[in-house]
Chains A and B, each alone.
Chain A
Amino acid sequence: MINGFFAVYLREILILKRKIKRQILSMSISPLLYLIAFGYAMGNKVVVHGHSYIEFLIPGLVAMSSMTYSFGISSEINIARFYWQIFDEFQASPISDVAYVLGEVAAAITRAFLGIFIILFLGYIFGVHLNYLNLYFFGGILLNSFVFASIAVALAMLVKSHADQAFLSSFVITPMAFLGGTFFPVDRLPGWAQIFIKLLPITHAARVIRKSAFGEIPNLNSYLILFVLGIIFFGLAIKTVAMARD
């Protein structure tokens, strides 16, 4: 299984390496715009939970990016599947479905961490110095990336065209990116909305990533929820690989 996993992972990483300059540039654009528009423009005038808005924003951006960049593997899989038909090479080879999913999920997590290091670097340039060097912070990112990478692989296997993939992203990722406590505190929403939003994995991720970045110990239940969701979606992703055979 290790050979198969590593072959799938290596392929994604080699492709990432081939376009690394473009990738870094494209991963820098959105956080830079968010930092300028919401952070720099508002500066220290807005205070949220005792922190300047830009300090509140950076961990939110980290949570959101760990979701969007890991979910982005679905586009790579779809290009390989529908356009280059490279997915057939994996399907015809003697590797297990688990090895395939593991390779894609690991590649997605790697992409997410690359994007996050870019955000942390940009934050540093903007003068934000938070408490990043702790296991709670990176554990939250890892689990959140794991959840959304697994969702991405499962959806990439279920869709029938690249257009369907974009459609799903609009309905799954975009609402979570804005509502999951990334840009504003969830407790300012009406009660009914809070109940709904607390069901989303991104809400738990944003909460633990922010708390740990502020030097506090996050609620461990959120890690447990992310872990359980990750395992469920990982299992689903394995099931859907077999379903992708027509």
Chain B
Amino acid sequence: MDKKTVIKIKGLKKQYGSKPALNGVNLEVFKGELFAYLGPNGAGKSTTIRILTGLTKKTAGDVWLDGYHIETHPKQAKSQFGLVPQSINLDMELSVRENLDIHGRLYGLGSKHRKMRIEQVLRYVDMEEEINTLVKRLSGGMKRRIMIARALIHSPSILFLDEPTVGLDAKIRRRLWALIKKIQEQGTTIFLTTHYIEEAEFLAHRVAFLDKGSIITIDSPENLIQGVGNWALDFLEDGTLKTIYFEKRKQAKEYILTHTGSFSLRRVNLEDAFLRLTGKKMQ
């Protein structure tokens, strides 16, 4: 992976009235990286994406996208990214082709180029047969794929995915993961917000934990997990679910044999890392 910084955030703050939403976020995302931004609901994930994409005004701080400052060079900065927002914002009354065509025009693609890119991106997301279908007739998973196709139509170097699999069943979610992985492998930098732990574990090169508008830590999923241990033992104590961590499975089994109660042994995941760092669960 190239170490060129494509997303740079410095001292980013957002305040809604007297309520702080972001408290001075600093981070850098590198070219070709799949970066996951994890946190519980209300942590500030969507606010960060909305500021980065020009939908929300920041209170303080600076943001550069592929070298362009979002305030001093907004047009150039906006041309560098594609956005897949959390809610489906396609025109339901229009066809897939019409939705993509309008998007292509917004990014200044010429007629021939637009036509070619519409065919390419639809093939890419395996939706070329639906080109003339009205969006309202598509399933939830198909709409998500069309949103990804739309975000890619102008060949952006950065793709922002805000909870891209929320509300989808496990099978469709895994299919979208494969698509996201494919996009990243072809060189697009992906900034992903999610509250699905397994999504970040499966996809991300690096993960940032966000809590109450502040970044707690940034590291690879492997390093974050290793810092906790390898095995997690869940058990109930006084009606509360507790977890203790072990380096080896054997140590956990010995603990079970020497204690009474109902235990559940599993592999440590990013949720445990978040719990260890913040003292609370993510979901």
Contact = CB atoms under 8 A, between A and B. Distances in A.
Interface string A148-172: 0000000000000000000000000
A187 interface: no
Given A15-B94, A93-B107, A245 B54 contact: yes
A90 B102 CA distance: 10
B55 A92 contact: yes
Contact of A3 (B57, B91, B108): B108
B161 to A, nearest CB: 13
Contacts of A92: 53-55, 78, 83
Contacts of B76: 94
B105 A15 contact: no
A215 to B, nearest CB: 42
B30 to A, nearest CB: 23
Given A91-B55, A94-B74, A18 B106 contact: no
B278 interface: no
What is the predominant secondary structure among interface residues of chain A facing chain B? helix
Given A92-B53, A93-B78, A245-B54, A85 B89 contact: yes
B78 A245 contact: no
Contacts of A6: 105
Nearest to A1: B108
A56 to B, nearest CB: 39
Interface of B: 16, 50, 53-57, 74-76, 78-79, 83, 85, 87, 89-94, 98, 101-103, 105-108
Given A90-B106, A94-B108, A245-B54, 13 more contacts: A4-B105, A10-B101, A14-B102, A18-B93, A84-B89, A85-B89, A86-B89, A86-B90, A88-B85, A92-B83, A93-B106, A245-B56, A246-B50
